[in-house]
Structure formats: structure tokens, C-alpha cells
Structure 1
Amino acid sequence: MHKQNFKIILSFLLILVSNFILAQKKFTVVLDAGHGGSDHGAYRNYADIGRVAEKDVTLAITLKVGAMLEKNKDFKVIYTRKIDEYPSLSDRTNLANRSKADLFVSIHCNSSQRPTAYGTETYVQGPNQNDTNLEVAKRENDVIYLDEKDKQIFGSYDPTSPESLIALKLQQSKYLESSLLLGGLVEGNFVNRDKRFSRGVFQKNLHVLRMNAMPSVLIETGFINHPEESHYLASEKGQDEISQSIYLAIIDYKKAIDRKSGGNSYATKKVEPEKLAEVPLKNDFRILLMSSPTKYNDGDPALKGLNYILTIKENGQYKYYYSVTNMASVKDINLKTAKDAGFRNAYAVGFMPNQKLSSGYYTLEVYTGDKLNANSFIIQTLKDVERNKENGVFYYTYGKVYTLEDAVKLQKEIEAKGIKNTVIQKVYK
């Protein structure tokens, strides 16, 4: 055989073998049961069912999801834990990266200081959006202090530094759309299949997601502190429904990724990141839930259990805005969440970042009601409050700034001093 012909045949055979190996590559999913071992996560004690601990619920759901995926020949399942033990965050992320996984799914339960909080949430990695849900970020990130190696790896990380923000932006552009796709599928199944309340899909700087070189989500399956939802989480029925919804979301995710890559069975690795990347919008978008002459505080039933509410008073009307994002896909998810909660007339409103009011300013409405005396906490704490009276009601305002971002910052500053339930007010000259 001619030497040149032999090389051609050999090259052809190598291509065939290579394609065969690629065809046999299974779609690898790392399932992470949150917490474990000495780290109980969130927990509550109930008289009828005893202690409901996050580490037990997450393990039960994770094993059920894994068992369903293992029956599918296209999937390879890797567990960060299958028993009651505590793998460090770096152990979990290192395992996923070493395995060259296509997907990382971390399963958790939520908790809140408010006993009325309930519903599901899914988080993807990215810069914090207006510090929403600090409870989740603090709880999930504080576990680094349980392990010395984690403290060294994660403890020095400063999420506010320019270098960290650049790194987050780079990672976000690479995996964000894929992560959001899975997050939306998970939350959609919780709503449509299980008839549960979804609080939405959010970006958050979470250590267990940040170090992963693959699309990753963290699913909060419900609130341990909510009596009804906690019983659901602890029940066989609840765990079966939750695991089925997550499993089906992973199946649908793979199908969608396969379609984008032309049917490749291990699509996550073959899709070019630039084709997946979602370009941020120029404006920030908030979902306007309603306008009302009535002021509602956080947790009021009128807000239908939604968090991340920004209230802006304008021309005597209180406008209630839900969440904020500069990503079109997240905006659509937030709008769906608002409508599912009962705000059928909700719509998205664009806000130009750091835009100054051309004919007015922002101030904070810090109190409405009867006249405050000179010894009141608000008067003593904020020396420069202004008092107004309208229709027999006293309105006290504080501060003068010209951008919405500065108004939010001022609001947080006085909340730190103990003055809660303030409202940002637009004042026109």
C-alpha cells in the first residue's frame, strides 16, 4: 500500500474512532445535596413531625433526582455526597471541575426571619442585583468558616473589588444564559407541575457556584421556617414532586442545548460561549406591580409574598416595583413571577442607571401619621427631617439626592440606624 494512501486511511480511521468516542460521551451532571454532617443548614422543630433539617431534605431529594437520571443512558451522575457528611465547598467545586461536568445542580432549602415567607427560588452566579436576598447569600456563603481550606480559598475574596467584578462578568458571559435556561425550567416546573409559588430566578454571588467551570444553579426548594411548606418538604409526596420537577428540567435543558449544538449528546462542551452569551441591556428593569394611594410595608399581604420590593412615591401614589435586572431573560422571568403571584397587570419599566432627575430630586419619606414629638427616635436620630402636613396627616421626609441609586443608598444608611419601612419619594420642582 502506498505510504500516502496509508496515511489517509489512518487519518480516516482516527476520525471515526474519535467521533465514536465523542458519541459515547455521556452528559455529566454533578448533584450537590446542600450542607450535611455537622452543618445542619436551616432547621425547625415541629410537634407532629419533629425536627426538619435542611441537610436531610436536600439529601433525600438529591438521591431521588440522581436515581431517575441514572436510568437514562445519556447521563452520568456524580454526587458531592450520598450520606450524611460535610464536603467543603472547595471539595464540591473541585469534584465538578475534575469531572469536566456539563452541569452543576446544588439543592437547598430556604429560611427567613419572616415566618410568612414561602415559595421556591433558583440562583445563578453573577454580580448581586441591588443586594437582593442578603439572607440567602449570607447563609450559603458563611459555610466557608466550617472548613480551614475553604477559609483560605474563599475567605480573602472581596466581591466589591474591581478585579472580582471583572472576573464575575467574564464568568457570567460564559455560562449565564445556560444557567438561566435551567433555572427557568426548574421554576416553571415548580409552578406548572407542582402548583407551587415561585419567587423567581436571581443572580447572586455564591461561593459554591462561583468556582465552577460549567453552567450551575442553586435551587432553594422551599422555606423550612414556614410550617405548611416545611411539612411538604419533609413528606415523601413533596420530595417526589420536587425531585421529578428538577429531573424533568434537566432533561428539557439537555434537549434545548442539544438543539443549539446540532444534536450533540454532550452539548454543553460544544456550544461556543459567545453564541450563548446574553448581552446586558442598557437599562435596569423593574416590574411595576401596582400603584396605590396606600402605603404597604414589607410582608404586607397586599404584596402577595413577593420580596425585593422597591417603593417609590410619586404625585401622591405609591408605586411598588419588584426585583431589578439588566438581563432580558431575567426580566421576563421576573414578570412571569409577578403575574403568577396575582399581579396580572404587572409590566416591566426601564430605569437608566445613575440618571439624574432633570426637574426635581429624591427624598425619603421616613414617617406618616400623627405629629412626632421632639423626643421621638426619628427626630433624635435624623436631625434634619422636614415636616409636611396634608389632609390632617403629617409626612416627615429626610435627605435630598438626584439619582435613584443614591436614594437607595441613603435608604440603606438610615435602615442601618434602625429606621425601617421608609419610602423613596420623587419631588418635582
Structure 2
Amino acid sequence: MYKQNFKIILSFLLILLSNFIFSQKKFTVVLDAGHGGGDHGANRTYSDIGRIAEKDVTLAVVLRIGNMLEKNKDFKVIYTRKYDEYPSLSDRTNLANRSKADLFVSVHCNSAVRSSAYGTETYVQGPNQNDENLEVAKRENDVIFLDEKDKQTFGSYNPNSPESLIALKLQQSKYLESSLLMGGLVEDNFVNKDKRFSRGVFQKNLHVLRMNAMPSVLIETGFINHPEESHYLASEKGQQEIAESIYNAIIDYKKAVDRKSGGVIATIKKPEPEKPAEVPLKNDFRILLMSSPTKFNDGDPALKGLNYILPIKENGQYKYYYGVTNMASVKDINLKTAKDAGFRNAFAVGFMPNQKLSSGGFYTIEVAVGDKLTANSFILQTLKDVERNKDSGVFYYTYGKVYTLEDAVKLQKSIEAKGIKNTVIQKVYK
């Protein structure tokens, strides 16, 4: 009798445990239809279809995404709004954080002064990268003044303060890789499935992303001020295609997360034995993003929002390297981050520490390119013994001579400390 009762109790506990495990398998997605209520967002009026408002397009797309996700038993869908109302930015992010969501997806429409601007963009949390990104950030963040709660929450926030920058970097390091993965999947679908033009995945300092404790993306589905793209955004066909592309990206993102974590069932497995400490590699590894005859300064859209990029000029080509490490695991992470940002052909390149260039070559610092500098220019007044060369009507100014990449980096930093920015390390072969 005792054994029979024990078996019954054990079976009951196993059923409860099973129900608990599988009840935890729901992947929670917060869908945020940008703007709403008195905040119309970007809007334009056209003679044939009338007025198009961003708040209406985003809501239509989000409801379509949610409808598809709700048919999938693996997902739990939470909406920041399902009607024409304006939830504050605090309400949106608090809802996502209270729900312990696995992913936050905010849908928007873009606008620009130029009616020729078109294409899709996806943003993840990060500092503003250039003036164009800054204008978009200002536009999306301006809604904080519509709500008193947001004004109290964000009114004292200073994105340039040391405290804010530290918090931002901590949040970026925790969720950036996952957010970039999701952003890359969205933009790939827009290009490959919908045959649209993708402007890329970027980092931007947006309130609705910064306050979220989960991977988050803000998707600009197209430009409302572009004559053709606006009609696509307003059409049922366009809204359905956009929704399907975002839905498929969410599905693929969850699959990637499950592969990485081993799924929920993995939580009941015995912990794996501790792995031995990773041994540093002999070489330093940087991720080569691309080679180009064009020089791109920090924050240029061509760099797709990535930081810690080192350009090295060699034989007239600028080679852009991302990150540096002598640990294999970090190298793999850096490579994945580069590819998720859009550099599909990126690969790791090994650098022997303190190695000199062959055949008596050396490194110098390219401090200016373009028109001829005047004698009272800041660069020539600050640095002595700057060399000048002219090629095809373009003046190239270089400074210093060192024999290892490490010394070149030190020299470059010393120049930047004097106020001379956007310099490039250059290899010179004799």
C-alpha cells in the first residue's frame, strides 16, 4: 500500500513538474506600435490616397504580426497598444520589463527632409553615430514631452554624463549581440523576401530601447515622405509583407536562441563540468570588415553602427578592422557581431604581436587628406615634421614613423589626445 501511494504521489509530482517546465516554454514578445493617440508620428498627405499617419501604419503592421504569433503555441504576445491610444514611453518599457519579455520589437515609419530617401532601417541601443542618426533619434525621442510621466522619468537624463555612458555600455554589452542578430534577420527578410532596399542595422540612443532589460529592436519600415514607398506602407499588401518579414525574423531569432541555450529542458539537466581556463592565442585577432578606397570616419553609416574599428591604409586601400583579442572565444563573438551587423564577408585576421614589417617597411599616421593645408592650420601648428605628398590633385599629410602596429596605435592615440581626430594608421613599404 505504501509503495502504491508513493508511486501515485511521484506520478503526480512528475506531472506537475512537466506542466511547469512546458508552461515556461512560452517565448514572450512585446510588440510596440510606435506613436498613437495625439502623437501621429511621421505623416504626409497625397492627392490620391489622402493622409498617411505613422501611428496607423505601425498599428496595422503590429496587429498582423501579433495575429500570426498568437497562432504559435510557443509564443506569448504582449501589445503596448492595440488601439489608437498613446502609451507613454515609460508605460511601454515598464510593461516589457514587468513581463520579463524575451524580445521587444518596436515598429515605426521613417521620414526625411529629402523626398528621395527610401528603404528600411533597424536600430539597436547605442550612442548616436552621426548627425543623420541624431536627427532620427531626436524625432523618436521628442514624444517624451507629450506625457508628464515621461517628462519626470527622462527629464534629468543626460546621455553625455559619465554615469549614463557607463550604464549604456553595460546594457549594450549584455543585449547588443542578441539585438544585432534580430536586426540582421529583419533586414535580411526585407531584402531577400520583399525585394526592398535595406539601409542597414545601426546603433542609436533611443529611450524606448535604452530602458528595456531585454534584446530590443526598433524597425523603421520605410519612408512615409517617399512618394512610392508611402503608398506601399499604406497598402494592405505592403503591411502584410512587412508583418510577415518581421514575424519570420522573430521565429528565426527564437530558433537561434534555443540552439544557443539548448531550450528550456536544458535547465533540468545536470550542470556540465567546469571547463579548463581558456589559453590565450599566440596572435592577436582583428575582424576585417571590408577594404575600400574610401576613407570612412567614425560613425559613418558604412560602418553599420559598430565601434572599436581600426582603419589601416595599405597600398591605397583602407582596411577596416573590428575589435582585437587573443582569446578564441572572444574572436568568435566579434566575428558573429560583425556578420550580424551586415558584414557577411567578414573574417578574422591574425597579427603577430610587436612584429615589424618586412623589407624595412614602417607605419606612419595619415592625419589629413584633401585640399592643401594652410601654414596656420591646426594640424600643422600642432604637429611638427608633417610630411606632405600630392597624388592626382589630392594632398596627403602623414606624421611619424614607427615599426610595429602596437607603436602605431600608441602614436595615433597621442595625436588624438592633441585634438586631431579621424587619423588613419598607414603601412609604408620601401
Q: Common fold, TM-score beyond 0.5? A: yes
- Cα distance, 1:138 vs. partner? 2.5
CA gap 1:359/1:83 in 2 versus in 1, 3 angstroms: same
Q: Find 2:365's aligned residue among 354, 361, 368.
A: 361
Q: After superposition, where does 1:36-115 map in structure 2 within 5 Å?
A: 36-115=36-115
CA gap 1:312/1:165 in 2 versus in 1, 3 angstroms: closer
- Cα distance, 1:11 vs. partner? 6.5
- Aligned sequence identity (%): 58
What amino acid does structure 1 have at the position aligned with 2:250? I
What amino acid does structure 2 have at the position aligned with 1:330? T
Partner of 2:358 in structure 1? none
What amino acid does structure 2 have at the position aligned with 1:222? G
The two structures have a TM-score, normalised by structure 1, of 0.69
Contact 1:389 1:395 in 2 (8 A): yes
- Cα distance, 1:286 vs. partner? 6.7
Give the distance between the partners of 1:131 and 1:350, measured in 2 at CA.
28
**SS of residue in 2 equivalent to 1:178:** helix
Partner of 1:156 in structure 2? 156
Partner of 1:16 in structure 2? 15
Contact 2:364 2:398 in 1 (8 A): no
What amino acid does structure 2 have at the position aligned with 1:209? L
Contact 1:30 1:79 in 2 (8 A): yes
- Cα distance, 1:260 vs. partner? 3.6
Q: Gapped runs of 5+ residues in structure 2?
A: 272-283, 325-332, 352-361, 401-409
CA gap 1:363/1:382 in 2 versus in 1, 3 angstroms: closer
Deviations 1:346-385 (A, max 9, x none): 7569899xxxxx84334234x54xx9999xxxx9999969
- Cα distance, 1:289 vs. partner? 5.2
**SS of residue in 2 equivalent to 1:363:** strand
Give the distance between the partners of 1:307 and 1:45, measured in 2 at CA.
35
- Cα distance, 1:227 vs. partner? 2.7
Contact 2:42 2:110 in 1 (8 A): yes
Give the distance between the partners of 2:378 and 2:85, measured in 1 at CA.
48
Q: After superposition, where does 1:117-132 map in structure 2 within 5 Å?
A: 117-125=117-125, 127-128=126-127, 130-131=129-130
What amino acid does structure 1 have at the position aligned with 2:195? K
**SS of residue in 1 equivalent to 2:264:** coil
CA gap 1:155/1:333 in 2 versus in 1, 3 angstroms: same
**SS of residue in 2 equivalent to 1:403:** helix
Of stretches 167-176 and 143-152 in structure 1, the one that deviates more from structure 2 is: 167-176
The two structures have a TM-score, normalised by structure 2, of 0.69
Give the distance between the partners of 1:350 and 1:224, measured in 2 at CA.
42
Partner of 2:290 in structure 1? 288
What amino acid does structure 2 have at the position aligned with 1:333? D
Query: How many equivalent residue pairs?
Result: 383
Give the root-mean-square deviation of aligned CA atoms: 4.8
Q: After superposition, where does 1:236-255 map in structure 2 within 5 Å?
A: 236-255=236-255
Give the distance between the partners of 2:337 and 2:70, measured in 1 at CA.
31
CA gap 1:72/1:283 in 2 versus in 1, 3 angstroms: same
Partner of 1:300 in structure 2? none
Q: Gapped runs of 5+ residues in structure 1?
A: 273-281, 298-302, 338-345, 353-357, 413-421
CA gap 1:393/1:259 in 2 versus in 1, 3 angstroms: closer
Give the distance between the partners of 2:343 and 2:286, measured in 1 at CA.
17
Give the distance between the partners of 1:137 and 1:177, measured in 2 at CA.
21
Q: After superposition, where does 1:148-297 map in structure 2 within 5 Å?
A: 148-264=148-264, 287-288=289-290, 290-291=292-293
Contact 2:335 2:346 in 1 (8 A): no
**SS of residue in 2 equivalent to 1:141:** helix
